[in-house]
Chain A
Amino acid sequence: MQRREFLKLSSAVASTALLGGGLTACSEPAEWQKMMTEAPAKITPTVCNICFWSCAAQVHTRGSRLWKITGNPTDSHSEGRLCTRGTGGVGAYADPNRLLKPLLRVSKGGSQSLEPVSWDDALDFIGQRMTKIATEYGPEHFAAMVHGAGAQHFLHLARAYGTDSVAEPAFAQCRGARDTGYFLTFGQGLASPEQTDMENARCVVLIGTHIGENLHNSQVRTFTDAVRNDAHIIVVDPRFSVAASKAHHWLPIRPGTDIALMLAWMNVILAERRFDAAYISTNTVGFDELAAHVAPFTPEWAYGETGITPVQIRETARLMAMAAPACVFHPGRHAAWWGDDTQRARAMAILSGLLGIWGQKGGYYLPEKVDVPSYPAPPYPTPRTSWRDLTLKQFPLAGAPVTNVVLEHSIGKDAFYKGLLVYETNLPMTIPNGAQQLAQAAQALDLIVAIDVQPSEITGFADVVLPECSYLERYDGLRNDAEREPSVAVRTPALRPLGDSKPGWWIAKQIGTRLNLDAFFPWNDYKEVIDWQLNQLGLSLLELEKTGVHYFPRKTPVYCDPGTIPRLATPSGKIELFSATLQETGFDPLPRYTPPKTPPSGYYHLNYGRAPQHSFSRTQNNPVLYQLMPENVVWIHPLVAAQFEISNGSYVRLLNQDGIVSNKVRVRVTERTRPDSVWLAHGFGHEARGLVLAYGRGANDAALMTRILYDPIMGSTGMRGNFVTFRKELAV
């Protein structure tokens, strides 16, 4: 018998219906008639948590009834307009399957189940196990995987406990490679929100990123500003994405050949001398090496790799150069693709450097954040073994813990990690092939804690499941992002926590108490922390509970003077077109193109991406968002559909190169994809039975990613190297 069975929480364990609409008498007026005379609703400020864009928002309640959530009009992220998912945040509160009680894994007569227990029982259990790990092995043998606004509470807990192994999928599964590439070139990664000055750009280049389906609020707004301004939009995507439909130039590239295209762009810009020579000589290093490197990569050469005609490559390169410096390359967010992702980001950064757009209007503006002091607490103990000791041997330039490295070191009796805490990230569907690794790790780990709002897949692996309340029912740390206008925004509870669910800060503090870490939590309510921090800034929580957001004047300019660049944090202090750091660590100092694997006959590239209605795998059970998109569909080109005799609207299963078969998924036959690729929205195909709406809907792309292409530089888990074919589903 397995040490831990993957438990599929039934809805009986999770909560049942929350709000019931009563029958109304038939002579009642219509809803709109009632609303004509209704008194204004109560408004509570919050920060949206459906994605990490963290738009400041306002929660409208009438008594204990949640009516709607709208954007905070003074907020620069939302400008009073939440996206589809943020508007659907109502469903995050009203999800009928929310976790409302702590659960503890118990074995009864040979079978395991998660049974409701009291908070004390659950927390004491965690306290005992964590104390045992700390005394037997040392606290650094405990790891945490976190995501989202509440992550800081558990990062704090972990550091206070004595471990720095706190990994976020946001690094190795998402932005890590991109930020490493930009860091190596400009001495810093790109911010989130990205500092793309699209509203002032004359040319916007999107390489694989699909703004539109990708509904990050202010980014959509500034992208459509660029469309309104008649800026040249260049979209490189194997799929005719929404952005591509707005573009003047859609380059339907062969998957995996982005670097070839970018090398050819550099080739054109250098060959035609379409750059500012003075700027290059003052502000960059390694130009000559770059020129020599890209000389052979002509558009004619790239045509053979990318399928983009030399005419298109030249035309688009010239457009960029003519628009420069008001030309912005959106770096994308999810950048874990082909295993050469840092180099891919480097190519984008080098193009940005060549065109001199850093710190320029219409390029990358210079973001600034508010200096919010930390609440006084003792210094963290230094762990005897850091995550770096485990990671850098494998991935020398990893700037943050790599989730997969943590997981690999959790597998087996002799594994380094003995315990794992997972906060608000659904690892089985987030990490490619993550479910299998977790199942292996679960056999040996002494403790797995999952903290979540809903009974997602990760809870099935846990010993203890702690129910967090939704973001609408809690305080969290101040939003303080580096951006155009520095601001802080506050999340305050608009509703009482449902059932026994509790805020993340409370959970962290309670675990801390059981580990004798009270000194690190010298407050009773997290409100005190927020209020103290705001006081240091000359504000108060009372004030922010009215306004929600506060802006501060900039201390530094948002752009630098034309033709200049601020001092960069690279070793040379300049833009490193040629990276000595990469050379010293044994990697290519200039981006090298490696031809991608081509799919076997009858197989197709598995491309995946976002849908505007959903965030990751976290919102499929949200009844409001389910209504808009209840399942994902697989996009298949008509020629392929005809070849396999698959009809539009029918259901198929996807079969990958290693024989993994997906759940059934509906087919959309469309011209909007390359014939050699299929496309799938990520986050569907849930296997957790507790998610009653989402269970069994659509196909899970993460499960089909059995071939992971690690980036040797920083450990990013490339997910694009998988191929699928079709199995017809007869019974629908």
Chain B
Amino acid sequence: MREEVLASVLANPRVEPHLAIWGWQIATYLFLGGLAAGLLVFSGWAVATRRVGRAPFAANRAPLIGLVVLAIGMGTLFLDLERKINVWRFYTHLNPTSPMSWGAWILIVVFPVFALLALAGLPDGFPRLASKLRELPVIGKSLVAPLIGMSGVIRGPLAIVGIGLGVALGIYTGVLLSGFNARPFWHSALLGPLFLVSGLSTGAALLILGAATAEERHLFSRIDLGLIIVEMALVFLFLIDMLNGDALQQHSVFLVLGGDATELFWIGFIGLGLAVPLTLETAMWQRSTALIAGVASVLVLVGGFLLRDVMVTTGQQTSWTSFHNQFNASLLAKLRTDGENPNGRF
């Protein structure tokens, strides 16, 4: 028999007994980041391959929507920071070993590219907005109009850069988690591709929802079908990887194979988020209907969020350590006034 207990009480909030350092904010950020990456890739692809006419929504409107999505995502990331006043510190330092640092800098580069692509699509995508912007006092004529003009000129090369950055952004959302050796459930190189494909899939789903024409809708329905199949394969490989990993990984994967996150993972993510859309989109291979495609797309988006949520939440619960307080650790909340303000010394 082996008994391992703590002789002192370890009750650091959100570190013990289970790490819950990252909540919905990070899951949302990873989801929206992936979605934005998907939108960037597809809009770049539509422009670069001269499909502006066949996929007008993707080419003209998606960049602006993606820009807003990414801004919201960064907003939730900001919400998660415990020391918000220091947020600017992300941009006084580049740590090549920190995915978080890479992500911060990728975002900085993605934003102007996204913005320029959005401007380039503006005259066709949002003509009224474009004209309003052009008529802005002071900067309208002097800045906005030339910018829109310039972005239109460099749209082609910009689109190619956008595809590259979109892929980087999509992979980064996965690498952010898989870079942590300390969390066995995250420690798989498959997380990068998985999150990228999921990001592309959710991007495609949003394009289906906003598609300007039946043709555009059908195009992205078919693309999404392929992505879902790849994503399922990657999820399958990820589980295989975990089951054949080290002892900690083998143990951790049981959180989605019978453990706390099983229902959310299998029914929510795999079932509703992948299998149902897969079925619906396969059925629509020849001819898609707006309603069914819409339902499938919403499910893909929900599934995309659930994937991030399950991964973020579950991964934190896996650790190299296993502390067992012999005394009731919640009694220390009395000292901390219930964990909200532990600063007062007595």
A residues near B (Cβ < 8 Å) are 17-21, 23-24, 26-27, 91, 94, 96, 623, 626-631, 633, 638, 666, 668, 670-672, 692-693, 697
Q: Does B326 contact A (CB under 8 A)?
A: yes
> With A630-B328, A668-B326 in contact, do A26 and B83 touch (Cβ < 8 Å)?
yes
Q: Distance in Å from the Cβ of A71 to the closest Cβ of chain B? A: 20
With a 10 A CB-CB cut-off, give which of B86, B326, B344 has the most chain A CB atoms. Answer: B326
Q: Are A27's CB and B86's CB within 8 A?
A: yes
Q: How far is the CB of B9 from chain A (nearest CB, A)?
A: 7
Option from A19, A23, A26, A630 in Cβ contact (under 8 Å) with B346: A19
Offer 10 A-B interface pairs, CB within 8 angstroms, sorted by A. A24-B343, A26-B84, A623-B335, A623-B346, A627-B335, A628-B8, A630-B332, A633-B326, A666-B328, A670-B3
B86→A631 contact, CB < 8 A:
no
For A17, A626, A627, which residue has the most chain B Cβ atoms within 10 angstroms? Answer: A627
Inside 8 A of A629's CB, which chain B residues have their CB? 8-9, 327
CB-based nearest B residue for A613: B8
- Taking a contact as CB atoms under 8 Å apart, the answer to whether A26 and B334 are in contact is no
The answer for the CA separation of A627 and B328 in the assembled complex, in Å, is: 11
Contact (Cβ within 8 A) B326 A671:
no
Nearest chain-A residue to B336 (Cβ)? Answer: A627
Please state if B331 and A631 are interface contacts (CB–CB under 8 Å).
Answer: yes
Interface string of B315-346 (1 = CB under 8 A from A): 00000000000111001101100000001111
Output the least CB separation between A622 and chain B (Å). Answer: 10
**Are B9 and A630 closer than 8 Å at their CB atoms?**
yes
Residue of A91, A630, A666, A668 with most chain B CB atoms under a 10 A cut-off: A630
A27: chain B residues within 8 A (beta carbon): 85-86
Q: Is the CB of A26 within 8 A of B86?
A: yes
Q: Please state if B343 and A21 are interface contacts (CB–CB under 8 Å).
A: yes
Number of A-B residue pairs with CB-CB distance less than 8 Å in the complex they form: 60
B1 part of interface (Cβ distance < 8 Å):
yes
A630 adjacent to B343 (CB under 8 Å): no
Which residues of chain A are within 8 angstroms of B83 by Cβ–Cβ distance? 26
Q: B334 to chain A: which residues have CB within 8 Å?
A: 626, 630, 692-693
In the complex, which residue of chain B has the Cβ closest to the Cβ of A667? B326
Q: Do residues A18 and B346 form an inter-chain contact, with CB atoms below 8 A?
A: yes
Enumerate chain A residues within 8 angstroms of B9, measured Cβ to Cβ: 627-630
Main secondary structure of the interface of A (DSSP, over half): loop
On chain B, the residues within 8 Å of A666 by CB distance are: 326-328
**Top 7 A-B residue pairs of the complex, sorted by shortest distance between their CB atoms:** A94-B346, A630-B331, A21-B344, A26-B85, A21-B343, A21-B345, A19-B346
Q: Taking the complex as formed, is B295 at the interface, i.e. its CB lies under 8 A from any CB of chain A? A: no
Most interface-central of B85, B86, B331 (chain A CB within 10 A): B331
Residue of B nearest to A633 (CB): B326
B267 at the interface (CB under 8 A from A): no
Q: How far is the CB of A611 from chain B (nearest CB, A)?
A: 10
A672 CA to B335 CA in the complex, in Å? 31
Q: Can you name 9 extra interface pairs (CB under 8 A) apart from A19-B345, A24-B343, A629-B9? A: A96-B346, A626-B331, A627-B332, A629-B327, A630-B331, A630-B332, A631-B328, A668-B5, A692-B334
Residue of B nearest to A632 (CB): B327
Give A95's nearest chain B residue, CB to CB.
B346
CB distance from B333 to the nearest CB of A (A): 10
- Give A134 to B5 CA distance when docked, in angstroms: 57
A350 to B: closest C-beta gap in Å: 37
Chain B residues near A668: list those with CB within 8 A: 5, 326
Measured between C-beta atoms, what is the minimum distance from B233 to chain A in Å?
Answer: 43
**Residues of chain B with a CB closer than 8 A to A693's CB:** 334-335
Residues of A within 8 A of B5 (CB): 668
A-facing mask of B1-24, CB < 8 A → 1, else 0? 101010011000000000000000
Q: Complex Cα distance A511/B334, Å?
A: 39
**Is there an interface contact between A633 and B335, defined as CB atoms closer than 8 Å?**
no
Report the minimum CB–CB distance from A634 to chain B (whole Å).
11
Contacts of A697 in B (CB 8 A): 331
Task: Report the minimum CB–CB distance from A673 to chain B (whole Å).
Answer: 12
Residues of B within 8 Å of A26, CB to CB, are: 83-86
In whole Å, how far is B207's beta carbon from the nearest beta carbon of chain A? 41
* Bound-complex Cα distance A20 to B344 (A): 6
Bound CA span A332–B1, Å:
31
Chain B contacts for A24, CB-based, 8 A: 343
Contacts of B85 in A (CB 8 A): 26-27
Residues of chain B within 8 A (CB-CB) of A638 are 1
In the bound complex, what is the Cα–Cα distance between A94 and B9 (angstroms)?
A: 20
CA distance A23 to B8 in the complex (A): 28
State how many angstroms separate the Cβ of B216 from the closest Cβ of chain A.
Answer: 48
Write the chain A residue with the least CB distance to B325: A649
Contacts of A692 in B (CB 8 A): 334
Does A626 contact B335, Cβ atoms closer than 8 Å?
Answer: yes
- Nearest-CB distance from A367 to chain B (Å)? 33
- Chain B's closest residue to A669 (CB) is B3
| Interface residues as binary, B64-85 with A (CB distance below 8 Å gives 1, 0 otherwise) | 0000000000000000000111
